Amino acid sequence: AEIRLYPLDAQGLEDDVAEFVQSIKKRRRQTRELAEVLYKRLLRPMQASIAGRDLLIVPHGSLHYVPFAALHDGERYLVQGRALRYLPSAMLLGLLPQPGSKAAGAPVQRLLILGNPDLGKAELDLPASQEEARAVQGWVANNSERAVREAAAESRSKERAFDFSHIHVASHGEFSADAPLDSRLRLAADAKNDGVLSVSEIYGLRLNAQVVMLSACETGLGRVSSGDDVVGLTRGFLYAGAQNVVGSLWEVDDDATSALSQAMYDGLKKGLPVAKALALAQEQLLAKKPHPFFWAAFLDSGTGR
C-alpha cells in the first residue's frame, strides 16, 4: 500500500463550490467551464494517480456539496469510465471490505417501494413519483412490494423495512440546515406516526438493506458539523444499517430521475456493484441530456459493494 499527499490551495474554494453548484441548478451555459476550474483545483495535481481508477471520495467541509461526477478534465466528465463512491465521514473507512475481497454486487432480492404518499394537501401530491413507483416495480417485477398514497406510510417504513434488501422512496425530502437532525422524508401519516420521518428517527431504525434509493429532492444533503463529519439523511440510513444510500443533492427533473433509476436497477439486476450501476446509468443519461443538472445530483454513499 502507498499513501500520497497532494496539497491543495483552499483559498476561495467555498465560493467556487457555491458558484458551481448554483450554475448546475440553474442550468447555466458556463457550468462546463466551472466544472473544469474545480477539476483543476481539486484533482489535476493527482490526475496521474487516479487515471483509470474507480474513486472513493471522503469530502471535507464544503466539498460535501460537490457532485464530483460533474467535474470535467477538459475531455470528459469524471464519472465517464469510472465508478464514484462517497463516505460522509472518514470514521466509516474501517467498515469497508478489505482489499482483494470479492467485489459482489447488490442484486435485487426483495424491494420495498414507497411512492407519492398522501400528505393531506393536493399541492404536495407527486403523481410523477407514483408513476415512478409503478415503473420501478415493473422493472424489478418479482419480490417487490409497492405502497403509494395512504399505504406509503411512515409506520410501514418503521415496521417493514428490515425485511427488504432494497428500499426505494419516491417522495418529498426536506433539508434543515439549522437543525440537521430535523431533516426528513415525508410519508403518509396514520394513527401510529405523524408521517415525518426525521433523521433522528432514522437513527433508531434497524435496516438490513444493501441499497436505499432516496428519489426525492435534497436527500443527500447534510450539514457539516465538525471535521469530516456530516449529519443528514444519508448518514442516518447508513447508521441504521444500510450498506449503500443513493441520494440527491438537488431537486431533479422527474423524467431524468425515472430514466436514471431504471438504468441503475438494470445494473443491479445484473449483479453490478451499486456505484458502478449508478455510474453507468449516469453515463447513459448524459448521452441524452448532456447538462449535469439532469444526471449528476445522485451520489452513492456507503460501505457496501
Spatial CA neighbour of 85 closest among 57, 104, 112, 62: 57
Residues of the chain with pLDDT under 70: 1, 91-106, 177, 216-231, 305
User: Among positive and negative, which fits the CA dihedral 5, 10, 16, 20?
Assistant: positive
Number of neighbouring beta carbons within 10 Å of residue 90: 12
Q: At what angle do helices 127-140 and 254-269 cross, to 10 degrees?
A: 20
Torsion angle defined by CA atoms of residues 258, 264, 267 and 268, in that order, rounded to the nearest 10 degrees: -110
122 — alpha (psi -120 to 50), left (phi > 0) or beta?
Answer: alpha
- pTM check: above 0.85: yes
d(CA 257, CA 285): 9
Q: Are strands 111-117 and 166-170 parallel, antiparallel or unpaired?
A: parallel
Residue pair 278/199 in contact by the 8 Å Cβ criterion: no
Percent of the chain with pLDDT over 70: 88
d(CA 151, CA 190): 9
pLDDT value for 159: 93
Angle at 58 between CA 302 and CA 9, to 5 degrees: 165
State in Å, rounded, how far the first CA of the chain is from the last one: 21
All residues at 6 or more sequence positions from 13 whose CB lies less than 8 Å from its CB, including other chains? 41, 62
pLDDT value for 226: 47
pLDDT digits (tens, 9 = 90+) for 244-293: 999 888 888 878 888 899 999 999 988 899 999 999 999 999 999 999 99
Amino acid at 10: A
pLDDT digits (tens, 9 = 90+) for 86-95: 987 776 666 6
> What is the grid cell recorded at 238?
447508513
